[in-house]
Amino acid sequence: MKRIDAQDKLARKLGVLIVGLNGAVSTTFVAGVMAIRKGVAEPVGSLAQMGRIDNGRSNGDGEPIREFVPLASLDNLVFGGWDIRDENCYESAISAGVLNKEDLRRVQTELEQIKPMRGVFDRNYVKNLAGSWTKNTQDKSLIVNKLRQDIRDFKARNKLEDVVVIWLASTEVHKPVLRIHERLEDFEKAIEGNHADISPCMLYAYAAIAENTPFINGAPNLGPDIPALIDYSRRKGVPIAGKDMKTGQTLLKTAIAPMLKARMLGLRGWYSINILGNGDGCVLDDPQSFKAKQESKLSVLDGILKPGQHSALYGNFHHKVCIDYYPPSGDNKESWDNIDIFGWLGYPMQIKIDFLCRDSILAAPIVLDLALFMDLARRCGLSGVQEWLSFYFKSPMGSSEHDLFAQLRNLNDALRSMKTIISSAEEESGSRLMSNEMRL
Ligand SMILES: NC(=O)c1ccc[n+]([C@@H]2O[C@H](COP(=O)([O-])OP(=O)(O)OC[C@H]3O[C@@H](n4cnc5c(N)ncnc54)[C@H](O)[C@@H]3O)[C@@H](O)[C@H]2O)c1
């Protein structure tokens, strides 16, 4: 249901419930928002905060996105969530080692107040972790009820109307879509029957949708990306999006591949390797969890280069992706790419990239944008898979578009459509107000 009106111009709070609240990405995101609120940092990397959009009437400079559409203000974000370890966000941010101690001390008091609710954990889905702070039942129907109650309690405690839920927890093992994931009725029966193929991420997603709350999946595991939950989100009028945030190597890949294609340069092979030493790297050291990540990293090149249409250039390239867990690197991931290309008369050339990046520093602004845009989408009455948010994902739900620049165009088009919805809602409420005044 559409809920955009003049009220949106007033301060409204937005709850951000994070699954995996104590992880590296989550704590970097929350600490970052707090630092920005205090005026000691800028929201670098956030399109929603720093980007501009062509509004069709300016002198070509565009208008700041955050003025073009009514996004929640950073001052009004309220954080909470679930984790399977019982620590406050300050302790976790210190142990994640992404932000330095001096930066964290500036927001220590605020971070110490944020503590996780008990998580839903199943070791069969994450082999390299053990959960100690979990809901004390394995009954999936009961778990759904508890998660729904958590969302309601969080809203009531913080006097919130609007909440989004985002999965930033560890990557679950790779699983195919099965019959029980196809129809909502079968999926609900499988929850009641405690079926082993209903993962924790699916339970969080189901609970969020049941509570009319947008759900975002930042990891590569299936979660809401099954027909039953897509159908449920449409029926409930709730937007969902995912999956696997596009941060480092894949971000580069989806910017470079369109360039090769634009110049009709051929590709013989693309070898990508990452070394990372954070908690995510440890989880991905398990081959089943890595498979989920690999699937999402591999899908992008075919989508951009379209070998079927350009067989002479892209009909036979070799694409390989590896991730190695190397603890000394911590969160400072290093990714190497060796790209074998060919040009005029088939002469070979190579591109070598060594990207010394910081995983969570690249992911945090994506989390912010996704939370703000999904909240906007819900208030504009959008439901089901939000393909226009593909810009942020390695393996975007509902879309085979991987070209970063095409994805950005789609995102801007969607914002312009939402602007139209907002303007007509404002006009409607303006004329309602006027006619009320005339009656008085
Ligand atoms: N950092 C990036 O660039 C990036 C990019 C794309 C996707 N991701 C994904 O984001 C996720 C988070 O990455 P990270 O580096 O913060 O990992 P992390 O290991 O630091 O954090 C994961 C957190 O999730 C918690 N957790 C695990 N299972 C849970 C469950 N069932 N319920 C509640 N909490 C649970 C863990 O205790 C931990 O605190 C991973 O799935 C990763 O693949 C990260």
CA 280 / ligand 1 centre spacing (Å):
6
Contact present, 199 and 222 (Cβ < 8 Å): yes
Looking at the CA of residue 85, tell me the nearest atom of ligand 1.
37
Backbone angles phi, psi at 160, to 5 degrees: -110, 145
pLDDT of residue 5: 52
- Is the model more confident about 56 or about 216? 216
Contact present, 217 and 241 (Cβ < 8 Å): yes
Contact present, 76 and 8 (Cβ < 8 Å): no
- Give 344's DSSP letter: G
pLDDT at 439 over 60: no
Taking CA atoms, 70 is separated from 6, 66, 139, 361, 428, in Å, by 10, 7, 41, 26, 17
- Give 38's DSSP letter: T
Distance between CA atoms of residues 426 and 2, nearest Å: 12
Query: Does a cis peptide bond (omega within 30 degrees of 0) precede residue 291?
Result: no
Angle at which helix 359-379 crosses helix 24-37, to 10 degrees, equals: 70
Question: What mean pLDDT is predicted for residues 281-288?
Answer: 76
pLDDT of residue 192: 97
DSSP string, 180-241: GGTSHHHHHHHHHTT-TTS-HHHHHHHHHHHTT--EEE-SSS-TT-SHHHHHHHHHHT-EEE
pLDDT at 274 over 70: yes
CA 18 / ligand 1 centre spacing (Å):
10
Distance between CA atoms of residues 13 and 50, nearest Å: 21
Instruction: Name the pLDDT band for 440 (thresholds 50, 70, 90).
Output: very low
pLDDT at 222 over 90: yes
- Backbone φ/ψ region at 341: left (φ over 0), alpha (ψ -120 to 50), beta: beta
Question: What mean pLDDT is predicted for residues 295-304?
Answer: 82
* The two three-digit tokens of residue 38, written as one number: 């205090």
Secondary-structure percent of the chain, ordered helix, strand, coil, rounded to 5: 50, 15, 35
Residue minimizing CA distance to atom 5 of ligand 1: 245
- Beta-sheet strands, E only, within 49-116: 52-53, 63-64, 77-83
* The two three-digit tokens of residue 375, written as one number: 């909240």
Give pLDDT tens digits for 169-211: 999 998 899 999 999 999 999 999 999 999 999 999 999 999 9
pLDDT at 434 over 70: no
Question: What mean pLDDT is predicted for residues 275-292?
Answer: 77
Probe target for ligand 1 pocket from 19, 25, 356, with the most ligand atoms within 8 Å of CB: 25
Of 276, 273, 302, residue with least CA distance to 363: 276
CA 421 / ligand 1 centre spacing (Å):
35
Of 272, 257, 246, residue with least CA distance to 324: 272
pLDDT of residue 128: 83
Probe target for ligand 1 pocket from 280, 288, 362, with the most ligand atoms within 8 Å of CB: 280
The β-bridge partners of 353 are 337
Contact present, 196 and 124 (Cβ < 8 Å): yes
Instruction: Name the pLDDT band for 426 (thresholds 50, 70, 90).
Output: confident
CA 436 / ligand 1 centre spacing (Å):
51
Distance between CA atoms of residues 82 and 21, nearest Å: 6
Question: What mean pLDDT is predicted for residues 290-309?
Answer: 82
Looking at the CA of residue 331, tell me the nearest atom of ligand 1.
15
First to last CA, the chain: 29
- Is the model more confident about 311 or about 293? 311
Probe target for ligand 1 pocket from 120, 170, 198, with the most ligand atoms within 8 Å of CB: 170
The β-bridge partners of 81 are 18
- Dihedral angle, C-alpha 277, 278, 283, 289, nearest 10 °: -80
Looking at the CA of residue 170, tell me the nearest atom of ligand 1.
41
Prediction pTM value: 0.93
Looking at the CA of residue 23, tell me the nearest atom of ligand 1.
21
CA 245 / ligand 1 centre spacing (Å):
11
Looking at the CA of residue 22, tell me the nearest atom of ligand 1.
39
- Burial, 133: exposed, middle or buried (Cβ in 10 Å; 0-12, 13-18, 19+)? middle
Distance between CA atoms of residues 255 and 253, nearest Å: 5
Distance between CA atoms of residues 166 and 81, nearest Å: 9
- Is the model more confident about 290 or about 3? 290
- Dihedral angle, C-alpha 8, 109, 106, 86, nearest 10 °: -100
Question: What mean pLDDT is predicted for residues 237-241?
Answer: 98
Instruction: Name the pLDDT band for 331 (thresholds 50, 70, 90).
Output: confident
pLDDT of residue 6: 45
Question: What mean pLDDT is predicted for residues 347-352?
Answer: 98
Distance between CA atoms of residues 430 and 439, nearest Å: 14
Go through the domains of the chain in sequence order and give each one's CATH number.
6-245+361-425 (3.40.50.720), 249-356 (3.30.360.10)
Question: What mean pLDDT is predicted for residues 238-256?
Answer: 95
Ligand 1 site residues, Cβ closer than 6 angstroms: 19-20, 22-26, 82-85, 96, 119-121, 126, 129, 168-171, 200, 218-219, 244-245, 247-248, 278-280, 283, 359-360, 362-363
Give pLDDT tens digits for 22-80: 999 999 999 999 999 999 999 999 999 999 999 877 677 899 999 999 999 999 999 99
pLDDT of residue 278: 80
